Amino acid sequence: MPAMKRERAVRSVPNYSKTYKCEEKIEQSQAPEEVAEPLPAAAPPRKFPYIPENILSPLLLVILNLSLSSAGTALAAQYIGDEISAVQKEAPEEYWWYVVPGWKIVKALGAWWGGFNAADTSLLTFLSLVPTAHFLATFHPSLSAYAHASTIAISTLSLSLPMYLLQSKTPKDRKRHHHHMHRHHKRAVGMDKSTYITTGLLASSIYASVMYTSLKTFLTRMVVEYFPSIRLTEGAVGLVESVERVYHPTPLSWGMAAPIGFAVAQVVLKKALKEPEEIEKEEMEEKSILRRIWDWFSPRGKVIVKRTAWVAGAMGVDTVVRLAGLMKGGSLEGAAVVGGTWVAATALTGVVFGWIERE
């Protein structure tokens, strides 16, 4: 009897090893569970959902630029109002009321869509105002350096400050980067300090030489002819031959040459040297002549051409708008001559920068 009881007890013990083997087979036959990736966080709601982002930022830039410019001009009028009123029209022609703010809007939108950052925008604005300041320093020396500095500071900060605030809120992936699929280039290098100083002094000497030569040859005579507000001294009235001896560059106008050269080197050449040196040439078949000429330039050369055109255009248009539309006794022909001289100096500087880029 005891042996039978032990046999029954052994039979009553369940065999768990078979169960474990079955569970292992079931687990192996089942597909592995996929781990769900966390959903990306929802984007914060926009304050102006009905205005596209690529339209909202430039619109805010224009509004802030015009507002800050008006506020700064009204504030500075308390200190330099008498000096500015001596050379500025009290009531310009009706169409100039649309041309002047229209040019400010074009300049702001061009800087935004042209890919300029806040620092380059401030330099571009400064360069666009330099021809007018140089003209007034040469032919209206009664204006103080404080009046020139205040005018340039208001126009520069009213555009560069909103540009900086808006670009700091813009995601980095919005910025346009032009990469070519078949591009083969060397490592892009920037501009060191010695190169920057050398090219800045070179550009300054080009501008100073062009303006001095122009004033001593043809520019002064044409200014006296086209601007009735420019009067000669008593001993030289009616003697055009002595105009060049009466009017000469002042120390203030000469002092503007140094910052002009360094600003142009920063905007044009320093940006170009960050681009690759070489690019693999594509097939020239089935391309227009202009396209073939454009593709002949290296990536650095294209940047120099674009930015030189920007600087020259800003200088020329801004000079015409301010001298013809806002200055007393201004004329469109005289303003075009003055602006064209600065455009020529900028073009010559761009050619020299292109030669430096190839060396």
Cα dihedral: 119, 125, 131, 132 (round 10): -140
pLDDT band at 143 (very low <50, low <70, confident <90, very high): confident
pLDDT at 137 over 80: yes
Pick from 70, 133, 75: nearest CA to 104: 70
Largest CA distance in the chain: 152
pLDDT, one tens digit per residue, over 15-54 is 545 554 555 554 555 545 555 556 555 555 555 566 777 7
pLDDT at 185 over 50: no
Q: How many CB atoms lie within 10 A of CB 353?
A: 27
Which range among 212-221, 235-244, 262-271 shows the weakest confidence by mean pLDDT? 235-244
Question: What residues have CB less than 8 Å from 48, skipping those under 6 apart?
Answer: 56
Higher pLDDT, 140 or 151: 151
Burial 249-261 (b: 16+ CB within 10 A, else e): beebbbebbbebb
Higher pLDDT, 139 or 308: 308
Pick from 129, 128, 111: nearest CA to 120: 111
pLDDT of amino acid 187: 43
pLDDT at 189 over 60: no
Burial 96-130 (b: 16+ CB within 10 A, else e): beebeeebbeebbeebbeeebebebbbbbbbbbbb
CA 78 to chain centre: 31
Q: Which residue has the tokens 């420019």?
A: 230
Higher pLDDT, 270 or 169: 270
pLDDT, one tens digit per residue, over 220-255 is 888 888 887 775 544 444 445 555 665 666 677 777
pLDDT of amino acid 173: 44
Q: How many CB atoms lie within 10 A of CB 265?
A: 26
Higher pLDDT, 318 or 52: 318
Which range among 63-72, 146-155, 260-269, 289-298 shows the weakest confidence by mean pLDDT? 289-298
Q: How far apart are CA 290 and CA 281, in angstroms?
A: 16
pLDDT of amino acid 45: 59
pLDDT band at 112 (very low <50, low <70, confident <90, very high): very high
Q: Provide mean pLDDT across the span 99-123.
A: 92
Residue 242: burial class (beta carbons within 10 Å; 0-12, 13-18, 19+): middle
Output the pTM of the full model: 0.77
pLDDT, one tens digit per residue, over 117-128 is 999 999 999 999
